[in-house]
Amino acid sequence: MRLHAITVRKGDAQALRELLGELRLIDGKHRPASAPFAISFPLSREPDMGETLHLKKRFPKLEFSIAAFEPYLSRPKSLKDALRGKLTETETKNLVTSFDTLGDIAIIEIPKELSKKEKAIANALLESNPRIKTVCKKASARKGKYRAQKLTIIAGKRKKIAEYRESNCLFKFHVEKSFFSPRLGTERLRISKLIKKDEVVAVLFAGVGPFAIVFAKNSKMKKAYAVELNPNAAKDMEQNIKLNKVEGRVIPFLGDVREVVPAKLKGKCDRVVMPLPKDAHHFLEDAFMCLNPLRGGVIHFYTFVPRENMYREALSTIRGAASKHGCSIRVLRKRKVRSYSPDTVQVVVDFSAKRAKAN
């Protein structure tokens, strides 16, 4: 579009832009035009005589003209915005707008009713989120002892290695072969602030190392033992330990918690973290076993529970395991972490535990 324009040398561009803003003369709908040594700004109207004299006084070498400018392309503000007119009303109701972002990789859920529109949905996600470069859809539920999930790339760059930043840490991992939840980032930092100087921490079900490494970078702990069964995740964890320069403070163990704890961690820890919400209740006795037999310690227990009366089941499970292991407990904090489904939530219970009698 051809508009009134002002051209100035590049060294004066920022000062002129600010003055045009003060005078309400700049046209914010069109993009300035750049030449090797000058910039032309589009104007919302022709300056009056007083404005012209004021501009000439501040910038003697500026030039007035009529020039063509390209409009700014407005980016959709949301996925629904980007899909407006591309989905029917019924399809829009079936659209799942929440998704996980791991670095520049987005992982989305495509309902069966929208399978024929998956390309349009993925491209709309790229359009509305400039930081996203790859869109994967969930092609299976998490399954097996490694909690692996099949993912299919449906738009953008063909890659499945994520680079994810959190709490001054960088994590690299294969999104399909290893489990990683960005939604627990707040929990990782929260626990970091609770860890006391020189504490020894056990992270059971450590994945690619986010809990242990965030602790190492954001607390004064002595060390963290990180136990992981999945060899792919354990390999990524070793890489992430080096990447974040926490060798010697985060000690990885590849293996089953039930085998590693009695052999390597019995009685060594002041704190235990259990970020395995679907099955952690089966390993509470292993968590108790990690604690120092004289001082006891703190356990952070994550689990999925019914939304209604959400803590009753978790507390009953903890008390039952404590009784079996000869421990007394005290609940320090309990909170909802996130919604999982309409009827299910993830909660965390922080509690201290100490053996009634040392073995």
- Select the CATH number that applies to the domain covering 177-355 from these four: 3.30.70.920, 3.10.129.10, 3.40.50.150, 2.102.10.10: 3.40.50.150
Nearest to 124 by CA among 110, 138, 113: 110
Q: What is the pLDDT of residue 1?
A: 84
What is the CATH code for 79-159?
3.30.300.110
Look at residue 72 and give its three-state secondary structure: coil
307-316 exposure pattern, b = at least 16 Cβ within 10 A, e = fewer: eeebbeebbe
Q: What is the pLDDT of residue 29?
A: 84
Q: What is the pLDDT of residue 28?
A: 82
Q: What is the pLDDT of residue 87?
A: 87
Contacts of 314 (CB under 8 A, 6+ apart): 301, 303, 305, 334, 347, 349
Q: Which amino acid is at 297?
A: G
Q: What is the pLDDT of residue 280?
A: 87
Q: What is the pLDDT of residue 223?
A: 98
Contacts of 51 (CB under 8 A, 6+ apart): 23, 25
Q: What is the pLDDT of residue 352?
A: 98
Q: Where in the chain is the domain with CATH 3.30.300.110?
A: 79-159
Rg (CA), the chain: 28
Query: Residue 283 has which token pair?
Result: 């390993």
- In order along its 359 residues, the chain shows pLDDT tens digits of 899 999 999 999 989 988 998 888 999 888 899 998 999 999 999 999 999 999 999 899 899 999 999 887 667 878 988 898 888 889 999 999 999 999 999 999 999 999 999 999 999 999 899 899 999 999 887 777 777 789 999 999 999 999 999 999 999 999 999 989 999 999 999 999 999 999 999 999 999 999 999 999 999 999 999 999 999 999 999 999 999 999 999 999 999 999 999 999 999 999 999 998 788 889 999 999 999 999 999 999 999 999 988 899 999 999 999 999 899 999 999 999 998 888 999 999 999 999 876 44
Q: Where in the chain is the domain with CATH 3.40.50.150?
A: 177-355
Longest Cα–Cα distance in the chain: 93
- Select the CATH number that applies to the domain covering 2-68 from these four: 3.40.50.1970, 3.30.70.2580, 3.20.20.370, 3.10.20.30: 3.30.70.2580
Q: Where in the chain is the domain with CATH 3.30.70.2580?
A: 2-68
